[in-house]
Every structure is written in C-alpha cells, then in structure tokens.
Structure 1
Amino acid sequence: MSSTASSPSFKTITEGSSRMCYPADQEQAVFYNPVQVQNRDLSILMIALYQERLQQRHQEKLEKRNYSDKMPPYEGIRILDALAASGLRSMRYIQEIENVQHVTINDLEEAAVERAHQNVKENNLQDKLASSLQDPGIFIQQADARAVMYSKTAQYHVIDMDPYGSAASFLDAAVQCVENGGLLCVTCTDMAALGGSHPETCFGRYGCMPIQRSGYLQELAVRILLDSISKSAARYGRVLRPILSVGMDFYVRVFAEIHNSKSAVNTLSLSTGYVFQSTQCPTFYVAPAGQTGGNKNNVYQAGRLPTMDAAIEGTNWKIAGPIWLGPLHDKGVIQKALQKLQKMPHLSTKDRLEGLLTSCSEELDVPLYYNLPSLAQFLAVSSPPMMKIKAAIVNAGYKVSGYHKEPQAIKTDAPNHVVWDIIRAWCDTQPPPKKASSSALKMRAVEPKIKVNFAIPSSLPNPKKSEIRRFPQNPQPNWGPKPRATGVKRKLSAEENELSPQE
C-alpha cells in the first residue's frame, strides 16, 4: 500500500492492484482505513478459493452421465458488495480474483456512490461498467442493502457485508439472497456488544446473552455471530457451513457457505448450545440445546445439563447463549489458503495472514478456551509457562491448542477437573501464596484425580521456535477503528441544523 497527493484536497492511495482517490479531510466523506487492508486481503484469498471450489463443483456435475447437455457453461461468480463505501474492495475483487463475472457496488450514501464512480475511472475500469444487475461487469447503485437483497432482483454467489458496527440487521436478507452453496463474508465491529460489555444490546441484536469479562470473550463473539447467521438461514431450510471464522484487530470476520438442506436444519440443535460459567472461579461448561435418543438414536430430544462437578461447591452459574457449538473453520480450505497465499502477488499482509491462518489450522474443534493467566491469578500463583501446561495436558492423554486471537488461550478436550489438577500441581511447585481468596483456597484443597507430568514431549510443537508470527504487533500507533464516515447527506444535514434558528 502506498499513498500520494493527487490534489490539495484529495489523496490517492494504492492498495493491491487498485488505486483509490479520497478527500484529505476524511471527516467530510467516505473514509479510508488502513487497518482494513488485512481484511480485504483475506477476503480476496477466501473468495478466490471459493471460486475454485464452485468451478470444481460445476465440473463434477458436468462429468455426470447425461448431465452435460442440461447445464449452462461455467460463467464465473457474481459478487454483491452490499455496503461498499468507496468501492475499493469491489475493484480489488474484479481485478485480483479469477472468473469474477459481475460485481455490484452498493451503498446507501450518495457520497460513497460518487466516490465509487470516481474510483472506477481512477482504475481505468470504465469499459467494465454494466448497465444492469444482470449484465457482466461492475454495476454501481445507491440503495438500501436490505432492500436490494430482499428484492432478489439478482442472486449472488458471494455477498460481502462489512458495515460500520453490526451486520445483524442484514443477515435475514443475505441468507435468502445468496445462491445455494454461496459464500457470506460478514464483518461485525460492535465488540462492546459481542464481547459482553453491553449484554442487553447483544441480546437485542443477536438473540444471545454474552458473559461480561469472560476469559474466552474473543471466541464467544465469533460463536454468537455464527449462531445468528445459522438461525437466520434455518428459517428458510438452509444451513451454515463455516469456512473461516476469526477475530481480527477490533472486529470479527466470518466466511461461511449457505446450503439448502432441510434435513440438516433438523440437526441444528446439536450444534447450538449454552455456556455455564461459574461465578466463583474460571470453570465453565458447554451443553448443546438438543440431543438424540431412542432405540435407534434418531429421536431429537431436549439437551441435558452437564455434570458440573469441577467448580467450587455451592457455586452459582451464569448462563450465556445460545451460541454456535460447531466447527469454526474448514481445515482443508485453510491448508489450501496457506498454499495459495504466496502465489497471490497483490496481498501486502501475507506475513500477518500466514500467522492467522496457521493458528486457525492448529485449533481444536472444541468450544471456547481457558485463559492461563486468569487460572493462575485465581489461585494466587505466578503464571506457569504455556508449554508446561500444554505438555501436562498431552501427557494426561488429551489434546490441546491455542486460539488465534488470544496468545494465552488453552483450548483443550480435557475435562475441567484435569485442567484444574494440572494448575494445582503447578501451585505445589511454587511458594505458598501470601494472600488468597477463600474460593482459591477451596480450589487448591481439592484432591487431584490424575498424576501430573510436566515433561515436554517431543511431539508437542513449540510455536516460539517457528518463524511464523502468530501474534504480530500492530504496525503503527492508534491501530483501530476510525470515526464513522459522515457522507454528503449527513454533512449537509448537520450544517442545516447548526444554521437553523434555536427556539
């Protein structure tokens, strides 16, 4: 990415294959945020892989007997950039991804649509402008994204929604508009709600109650969003297939395919559930909303509470949910993404993406995680080395991984009592605490059920010895969200209010 001044009042930046001209005073119009370069780079990578999958599916159908004469030729993918702002994302899509047949650049703001037209000229793409939603090329329009998607004037293989704030109000329309097997790319930046600081807002937007100050809030936010998408899709006989679900900087971003399958909708209760968080210690349990039973194990029933015996006796429980309990990622697609990443010349954040994707590829498919410093702080002991705790879990016969957004995460399939036995064993190697809460003393006093071995096995990889940077530092100060763009309409309206007589 580079930038130059094109006039006293405008700047031009180059990102990937595209150039963008925007006002130097970003308070007055559509803004440019360099933080989102990684978001756009990742989106290009994931949509490019989706295009390859779609083309392969088309070819497999063609190869079926007596089917080739019934199918039109593969024409490429159609993308809706529903909240496009300047259109930079769309212009990168059409120039950097193979077989993009059509991109709709849509925004509600007049200033954004004007800037998109100017940026089409800036990139010499005038010859690709389409005259309608159905024609190949780039179609620019000013409209409410929900109205566009509900109208179903055109269906899309990919719908990208990157709003300022929450995407919740767009999900119902998006799951209906996207093609069967299509890809939704969804960003939510309302981490104050998703992370639990404003649980009432989260429940109103997503139908889920988060837990304030939980050690696993980063993953909980992702699972809340996935649950909201899955419920929206299920109403129309469609199911969610997460491809990649990540926390990045100050937001969450998910890539998920939507497929028609009424039979799979019936299993949704098995991958939806609740979190039970102790009010006295970091112990938590997860339980699905439903289960199967009967003689043939094919009768759906209400779920059961887990046996919550690893917490302090007499504890109360906070309840969070419902959340998505299924996988966050498709590991096969992630491996292909890591291979393709180095072959894409226009991605400037390859190192950061490699670290992110590598971490995701290593994650266990179990919901949520413990935060190691939180465990140690509760028991009033110095935080142990992460490798020793992971080694003890592996030596006890269980699996363990990290989480891509939290360097101190312990994600494991080990029961809660095993995790606590390991932390208690670490306490035994340290000096007695000078001060500890009554809850901590009760937890320390529990008799262990396993023999703990902190020896590091050769099979356990050490991320610190890898050249891949899984948790890179922010590239510059104040790396975060920018103020909401005002747009021409909002700017004029504000000025009119200032000039109007006061009563």
Structure 2
Amino acid sequence: MTSSADVNSSTATGTMNIPEGFTVHTENTAKILLPSETTAFLNPIQEFNRDLSVACITTWSNRWEQGKRARWEQASARREKNKKRKKNAGEDKEEQGMDVDPAPKPVETQTKSEEQGTVAASAGEKPKPETETTNGNGEEKQKEYVAPKFAILEALSATGLRAIRYAHEIPLVKYVIANDILPAATEAMRRNVELNGLGPASASEESGPAKTGKKTDLGKVRVSEMDAIALLYHHRADNARVEVVDLDPYGTAAPFIDGAVQAVADGGLLCVTCTDMAVLASNNYPEKCYANYGGVPVKAEFSHEVALRLVLHTLATSAARYGRYITPLVSLSIDFYVRVFVQVRSAPIEVKKAFSQSATYYVCSGCQSPHEQTLGRVVEKPGTNNLTYKAQSGPPIGPECDECGFKFHVAGPMWSGPIHDKTFVSEVLKHVEENPGKYGTEQRMKGMLTVAGEELDVPFYFTPSRLSGFFHCNSPPLEHVASALLHKGYEISRSHACAGSLKTTATRAQVYDIIRSWIKLNPVKMENVKDGSPTRKLLSKEPTEEANFSRHPQAISRASQVKLVRYQQNPTPNWGPGSRPNASKRKREDGTEA
C-alpha cells in the first residue's frame, strides 16, 4: 500500500511544513518526503521486504515476550515459595518458644531483566522496576508483571522508511536506531521522523538516552550519523546490545556481519538482506563470493538456494567465533535478493556442533547431480549423553558422475542444516492471516510463507523441465513426477525459490530413474543425441524399477490448492535493486550543490 502526492510548501503534516519541491510518499503507516524529480532514495519494490520484516519481528517479539513472562513467573513462584518457607520456619520457632525476629526481612528485588520481565539495562539506562502493591494491612502483594520492550538497530537506514514503520507497527518496540553515514541521508531521516511524530519532541521520560555515539536524537526513532560497522561494534558489550539488528545494504552485507552477530542480545533477532545475486547465485565471480562469504557458488538451477546457504554459513561461522550460534527462522530467496531472519544465542556446546551443519557439495558439470560432504560429525557415545566431535571421511563419490560420466565442480562450504523453523513460519503466517489489510503485499506474503512452511529440510530443489532437458525428452508434468516419488515412498514439497520446483528425500539417481521410466512411455529420438554427451550416458542406463505416474492424493499440496501469489512476476521493466546512491547524488536530491 504505497502512494505519492505532491504537497505545497504551505501544507503541514503534524508539526512540520512540507518543503517545496518534495513529494510525500506513503507506505502503510509511514510517510516520507522524497524529491519530486527522483525516487533514488527509495525502492518501492522492497515493500514486500519491509512488510515481511514487520511481520517476522512482530512474531519474534511475541515469542521473546512470552519467554520473559515465563521466566518472571518462575522467579515469582520461587520468591513466594521462599517467603512461605521463612514464614513457616518463624511459626515453628514461636511454637517452640524460641526468639524470632519481630518481622521477616523483605525479599530483595531481583534486578535481572529476565526475572522482572523488563528490557535488559542498556548503556546509561536502568531496568524498569516491577510494580509493587500492598494490601490494607501493609503486607506486600504479588508483584505485577510489566511487559518488556526492545530496541531495534537499523544500521543502513537511508530514508528511515523501514525504521518508521517498525516504530509505528510493532507493538513492543521501545525505540529504533536509524543510522546512515551520509549527512544528507540523516538530514532526510530527521525530516521524515518529525513528519511521522516520532522525533525528540515525542520522546517520553522512559525512553532514556540512545545506545549510540554522536548526533543521536531521542525519540522512538533515533537518528544516528555514524559508520555502520563502528556503530555495530559500539554495541558489542553485554549491556549495550540491542534485541534486533537489521542489515539491508546495497549489495553485500558481508562487511557488517561480524559486528552484527556481536551487537545482537542473547536470543535476539538478526535480519539480513544481500542483493549481490550476481556473486551469490552464479559462477561468474567465485573469487568474490569466497572473499565475501567464505564459500564458492555453483552454476546450477538451484543456485538461489545455494545463495541462501552461503549467507547462512557466513552468519554461522561469524557467530561461532564469539561462542554464539544461529537458528534460521525464515530464509527466503526473493526477486533479486535474499532475506534471512536468524536467532542468535550464546552456547559453547552448540557452537561445537556448527561444523556438522556445514558442507561442501560436489555438483556434476553435466547433469547437476549434487553430492553432500559435511565437514564434521557429532557422535554420541553409547549408553551416555557425552558427545564427541569427529572429522568426516570422504569424498562421497568418485572423480566422475555415475549418472552421466562428467566431472564434478566443488561448491561451498555452505550451511547444510534447515533453512526455516517451520513452527515460526506458521506463526508468521497466522499473524498475517489474523491481520487482514495490514500489509500491502499480504497475498504474496501468504503465498511465500505457505510454500516455505511446507518445504522439506533437504538441499536442493529441481524442476522436471530442467531434468528433461538433460535427457532431451518431453517434460513430464510436475504432478506426474510428484506422484511417482510419493508412490515410491519418498517425501516431496515445493520450493519457494523457484516456480515449478520440487524438493524430495529421494537421491538424484532415484529421481533420474523416474525420468527414465517416463522416457519408456515417451521415447527420445536418439539420432538427435550427440556421442560423448551427458545425455547419451544418461539414456544408456535402464530404470531399475518402473515408476507409477498415476495421481497420488498427496501430490497436490495446500500451497497448490489455494490461489496465492507464490512466485512474483516482474512488475516493471528493468526491474531490480537500482543503482547505489553516492554522496554527491544524494546532495543533489536533497536540493544542495554537490
């Protein structure tokens, strides 16, 4: 839900006059000022990204608050139990004629935020105390639970649109730090923050000082003008960490990841966007991909899932250096970028397991058949709960592909574990369904979340049309291939990353066996197949078992039954992330000379 309108300089919104030559752009609850002749500050295609981020952070915050409440209730129950025990001990002493204190000492109030249900004390802030009440006799009643609030740090904010939406639309947000290094950008942010009534004038006494360095405003959205990396490192200390960090840069997020995994509070949420898909999802720049993400991509139809797993691998290894580990909640390949939401926790035992969730993949250069080689394994000793960590043996295959005879390319290392938390995905989907009309891209959110929620936790997807290309045969319908796999006892799902795709627990060799059965019914003209080609070798093998292509009742999933926007079509010509703005360009847009 976006719109733009020209506004005269005499028109006022809130407490601020709209400067001449600017346009008010509206997206959901947020309004921002844009120069009338350009929209370089803003990418309206990213509305889906912003809608999804609001929904995911809201869902995470509900989980976070429930955890705080549960720990507060446990602590409260312990306090009550201790008071009763002391009271009973005093009564026993009275019955025995022993001296007792005239009154029990009051129980000291715990100051930990987890037991109070309040936000952890930040730099220069004190935790908000619990509400204490007394009855008519002056005796202390049960303390009341106070719902905690949390802070968000958006390291690369540009116009501040995302930060403003977070402040408006996420109920438990205490404040948002909106940062940019360019003075023109921060000046634009201050205008937009004031336009939305979220600036210093709206700051409450509870807000306290911001957790950042120079040029930081108080208010629900606090504008910061700093280098993003320096700002993230400024929040490394335990008492300075924020609960949510959002990285949405132009291009790669790699330079900011090391600081981000340290700036997130324990159990907090890290949201990361990378738009450099030419590096992540192709084999054109393997050296650049390795420099940014510590792994090598692959040229294959599942390259967009590889991109997600490379980013997750970078997050996991960066966090592991500081005794922290990640849990991917939602990981999506969207349009021209990837967007991941991961929870960051501190636990040395989980860090030890990280290498068992990292793998390299041998991908055939002829038929794209992938073979996994994990970097390590975790072994549980029989009869005990002790774990040992072993190096993995390998390689899993020979020098040539068993299916087509071609050589392998090596991809990775990359994340090999689950890329979604299905329970979390269902909670986000439920939130969207229970708030109709809240998001402008609601239908697409429902579609993509539905597909992601059904997605199998296995790498990688394939498309029957691409496989049939390897065999030079007519493409079997998606439902036929899905039914054949189900009849053989394998699980299947769609993949959110590619239309017409399937994921399955079957190996690629077993999938190829089904294609060979299809070819028995739809023969290939061998005179069109070149000698020495991978197709010739693929067709030379006979199927080990005849496939059943009759319709299986589970071949049509919930995602296929409902009319949802599962896969977005390009809405405009020359669609993409846009060009990176530089300082001189931003100054011109801001009405000043370069």
TM-score by length of 1: 0.93
1:133 is aligned to 2:220: no
Distance 2:252 2:320 in 1: 20
Distance 1:36 1:292 in 2: 40
User: Unmatched 5+ residue regions in structure 1?
Assistant: 499-503
What corresponds to 2:279 in structure 1? 193
What corresponds to 1:268 in structure 2? 354
Distance 2:334 2:296 in 1: 22
- Could you list the per-position Cα deviations for residues 78-111 of structure 1 after superposition, in whole angstroms to 9, with x for gaps in the alignment? 1001101111111111111101111101111111
3-state SS, counterpart of residue 475 of structure 2: coil
Write 1 or 2 for the structure with the bigger share of strand: 1
3-state SS, counterpart of residue 403 of structure 1: coil
Q: Which one of 67, 80, 94 corresponds to residue 167 of structure 2?
A: 94
How many Å apart are 1:142 and its aligned residue?
A: 0.3
Distance 1:58 1:484 in 2: 41
Greater radius of gyration (CA)? 2
Identity of aligned residues (%): 34
Q: Which one of 246, 250, 259 corresponds to residue 160 of structure 1?
A: 246
1:209 is aligned to 2:296: yes
- Could you list the per-position Cα deviations for residues 139-179 of structure 1 after superposition, in whole angstroms to 9, with x for gaps in the alignment? 11100111011122731100001000000000000001110
How many Å apart are 1:313 and its aligned residue?
A: 6.1
3-state SS, counterpart of residue 442 of structure 1: helix
Q: Is the 8 A contact 2:377 2:390 kept in 1?
A: yes
1:229 is aligned to 2:318: no
Q: Which one of 396, 412, 423 corresponds to residue 488 of structure 2?
A: 396
Where do residues 178-189 of structure 1 align in structure 2 (5 Å cutoff)? 178-189=264-275
How many Å apart are 1:468 and its aligned residue?
A: 2.0
Where do residues 102-501 of structure 1 align in structure 2 (5 Å cutoff)? 102-126=175-199, 127-129=201-203, 132-134=209-211, 137-152=220-235, 154-196=240-282, 197-211=284-298, 213-293=299-379, 296=382, 298-304=387-393, 305-307=395-397, 311-312=402-403, 314-344=405-435, 345-433=437-525, 434-437=527-530, 438-461=533-556, 463-488=559-584
- Could you list the per-position Cα deviations for residues 265-287 of structure 1 after superposition, in whole angstroms to 9, with x for gaps in the alignment? 11111111011111222211112
3-state SS, counterpart of residue 524 of structure 2: coil
Q: Is the 8 A contact 1:278 1:311 kept in 2?
A: no
Distance 1:227 1:420 in 2: 29
How many Å apart are 1:479 and its aligned residue?
A: 2.9
Distance 2:297 2:28 in 1: 37
Q: Is the 8 A contact 1:132 1:139 kept in 2?
A: no
Q: Is the 8 A contact 2:72 2:116 kept in 1?
A: no
1:48 is aligned to 2:51: no
Q: Is the 8 A contact 2:516 2:542 kept in 1?
A: no
CA distance 1:21–1:497, change in 2 (3 Å): closer
Structure 2 residue identity aligned to 1:204: A
What corresponds to 2:26 in structure 1? 14
Q: Is the 8 A contact 1:110 1:489 kept in 2?
A: no
What corresponds to 1:501 in structure 2? none
Distance 2:49 2:379 in 1: 43
Structure 2 residue identity aligned to 1:471: Y
CA distance 1:52–1:385, change in 2 (3 Å): same
How many Å apart are 1:257 and its aligned residue?
A: 0.4
Distance 1:460 1:312 in 2: 27
CA distance 1:324–1:131, change in 2 (3 Å): same
Distance 2:360 2:341 in 1: 23
Stretch moving more, 220-229 or 423-432? 423-432
Structure 2 residue identity aligned to 1:436: V
Stretch moving more, 134-143 or 218-227? 134-143
Q: Is the 8 A contact 1:84 1:107 kept in 2?
A: yes
Distance 1:157 1:191 in 2: 28
Stretch moving more, 432-441 or 138-147? 432-441
Q: Is the 8 A contact 1:164 1:189 kept in 2?
A: yes
Q: Is the 8 A contact 1:168 1:206 kept in 2?
A: yes
Give the aligned CA root-mean-square deviation in angstroms.
Answer: 2.3
How many Å apart are 1:136 and its aligned residue?
A: 6.4
How many Å apart are 1:294 and its aligned residue?
A: 7.7
How many Å apart are 1:427 and its aligned residue?
A: 1.3
CA distance 1:472–1:205, change in 2 (3 Å): closer
What corresponds to 1:63 in structure 2? 73
What corresponds to 2:3 in structure 1? 2
- Could you list the per-position Cα deviations for residues 12-48 of structure 1 after superposition, in whole angstroms to 9, with x for gaps in the alignment? 1110101011112337xx6111101000000000000
Distance 1:133 1:279 in 2: 53
Distance 1:436 1:497 in 2: 64
Distance 2:454 2:50 in 1: 23
CA distance 1:9–1:67, change in 2 (3 Å): farther
How many Å apart are 1:5 and its aligned residue?
A: 1.1
Stretch moving more, 418-427 or 293-302? 293-302
Q: Is the 8 A contact 1:101 1:136 kept in 2?
A: no
Distance 2:155 2:556 in 1: 42
Distance 2:443 2:79 in 1: 44
Structure 2 residue identity aligned to 1:9: G
Structure 2 residue identity aligned to 1:32: L
How many Å apart are 1:488 and its aligned residue?
A: 4.7
Q: Is the 8 A contact 1:421 1:450 kept in 2?
A: yes
TM-score by length of 2: 0.79
- Could you list the per-position Cα deviations for residues 415-462 of structure 1 after superposition, in whole angstroms to 9, with x for gaps in the alignment? 222101001111111132241243212111213223311111112225
How many Å apart are 1:474 and its aligned residue?
A: 3.1
Q: Which runs of 4+ in 1 moved over 6 A?
A: none
Q: Is the 8 A contact 2:484 2:514 kept in 1?
A: yes
Distance 1:354 1:341 in 2: 7
3-state SS, counterpart of residue 252 of structure 1: strand
CA distance 1:62–1:315, change in 2 (3 Å): same
How many Å apart are 1:484 and its aligned residue?
A: 1.4
CA distance 1:445–1:178, change in 2 (3 Å): same
What corresponds to 2:87 in structure 1? none
Distance 2:258 2:63 in 1: 25
Distance 1:343 1:475 in 2: 27
CA distance 1:73–1:269, change in 2 (3 Å): closer
Structure 2 residue identity aligned to 1:133: A
Distance 1:158 1:485 in 2: 26
How many Å apart are 1:73 and its aligned residue?
A: 3.5
3-state SS, counterpart of residue 522 of structure 2: coil
